[in-house]
Amino acid sequence: MRGNSVLGVIFSNVGDDLIREFTDKRAFGSVPFGGRYRMIDFPLSNMVNSGINKVAVITKRNYGSLMDHLGSGKSWDLSRRRDGLSVFPPFGSNKGDFNNRMEMIYSIAKFIKDSNKEYVLLSDCDVVCSINYADVLNTHIQNEADITLVYKRGVFPQKATRMMVFSLEHDGRIRQIRIDPKLKGECNFGINMTIIKKQLLLDLVYGCISNSKIDFDKDILQKNVTKCRVYSYECTGFNQVITSMDSYFEANMKIIDKESRNELFHSKAPIYTKIRDDMPAHYGLSANVKNSLVGNGCRIDGEVESSIIFKGVKIGRGSKVSNCVIMQDTIIGRNCNLNYIITDKDVTVKDERVLMGFRSYPVYIRKSSLV
């Protein structure tokens, strides 16, 4: 792949309104996932694994924890004298619209223009997947496409907003784009990954901004689907789109399955993250752990079943945790019973508490809560 000819651009806040419980104090990109990762780790690692060595991350709000996580980009081999990782804090005329890709791109237009890259890869942080962008770019070049949009074939995500559905020709060319249609059953829906030539992107964005048009999906993609050569690329394998708390919970539960986990995390294209050095997990004499992922630094003295346990969690004697996502440094007291619960970081659950949710409605406990 000509990865050094591609500039990666990641939108860290697009989709904040979909999981507002998590993003009230953090960007979508810094939402924890899978026991040790953040959502931004997936697009960032996919880019690095595909040979893309210049990446811009655009933030809009609540970006403190995101910048702490990214640091200099060393964990992704992006701490470089040339190219590497660039993080752009919010600036622009409309700081209240966190889903406005058009203005975000316009705010770093000079950075994009000054880069020595031929193509730009745009990505959100709402998809958990392992994708080889080398194949996407090669398909883009072979089709002589102006724009290539990555899609997934499946059931239209529930509670999704601003989702695009594609009607495809036999050769993969997109003949129609619909935004948020009312559909049932399977369809081809976009997952907000786009490859486009740098100059074409800038021309389209400048043209829209000068005419007070700021909807990227509608004013650039949908409007130009018949004017430009717009093609598709199907993302296969394990991929989960996060559009709600329910889909976030389901995505975590799915990676407990060994086959799904091996499909997402494999040696040829690993998912990188910031390393937190910690001691191995400690299991007490009364511990009983089944079908779960347990992070480093945990102390387990109770029962854990079908759950994701992040680093530094403590579970007291006599407690049972089932079908839960328990985030970093949470403390669960003795003789508690938790089922279908999502705790944010640094939560403390007192002794003998019973907290119950449902698979279709997991109960969320805010960061640093005492319950």
pLDDT value of position 3: 55
pLDDT value of position 132: 94
Per-residue pLDDT of the chain (371 residues; tens, 9 = 90+): 455 799 999 999 888 888 889 988 899 999 999 999 999 999 999 999 999 999 999 998 888 889 999 998 999 999 888 889 999 987 654 444 445 788 899 999 999 999 999 999 999 999 999 999 999 999 999 999 999 999 999 888 777 777 899 999 999 999 999 988 887 788 999 999 999 999 999 999 999 999 989 899 999 999 999 999 999 999 998 999 998 999 999 999 999 999 999 999 987 889 999 987 788 999 999 999 999 999 999 999 999 999 999 999 999 999 999 999 999 999 999 999 999 999 999 999 999 999 999 988 899 999 999 99
Using DSSP's 3-state secondary structure scheme, residue 231 falls into strand
Q: Domain map of the chain by residue range?
A: 3-264, 282-365
CATH topology for 3-264 is Spore Coat Polysaccharide Biosynthesis Protein SpsA; Chain A (3.90.550)
Residues ≥6 apart with Cβ < 8 Å to 109? 202, 205, 206
Pairing of strands 186-197, 127-129: unpaired
Spatial distance between the Cα atoms of 328 and 343, rounded to a whole number of angstroms: 9
Full-model pTM: 0.93
Q: Which CATH superfamily, name and number, covers 282-365? A: Hexapeptide repeat proteins (2.160.10.10)
Task: Please give the C-alpha separations between residue 2 and each of 141, 183, 361, 363, in angstroms, as whole numbers.
Answer: 11, 38, 44, 45
Spatial distance between the Cα atoms of 266 and 67, rounded to a whole number of angstroms: 26
Phi-psi region of 62 (alpha: psi -120 to 50; beta: other; left: phi over 0): left
Pairing of strands 239-241, 127-129: antiparallel
pLDDT value of position 95: 47
Please calculate the CA angle 61-81-109 and round it to the nearest 5 degrees.
Answer: 45
pLDDT value of position 225: 93
Mapping DSSP onto H, E and C, the string for 18-86 reads: HHHHHHCCCCHHHCEECCCEECCHHHHHHHHHCCCCEEEEECCCCCHHHHHHHCCCHHHCCCCCCCEEE
pLDDT value of position 99: 56
Using DSSP's 3-state secondary structure scheme, residue 290 falls into strand
Spatial distance between the Cα atoms of 282 and 285, rounded to a whole number of angstroms: 10
pLDDT value of position 273: 94
Tell me the residue type at 138: N
**For the chain, counts of helices (H) and of strands (E):** 9, 28
Give the helix/strand (H/E) hosting 118. Answer: none
Task: Please give the C-alpha separations between residue 277 and each of 120, 205, 219, 299, 311, in angstroms, as whole numbers.
Answer: 35, 43, 46, 16, 10
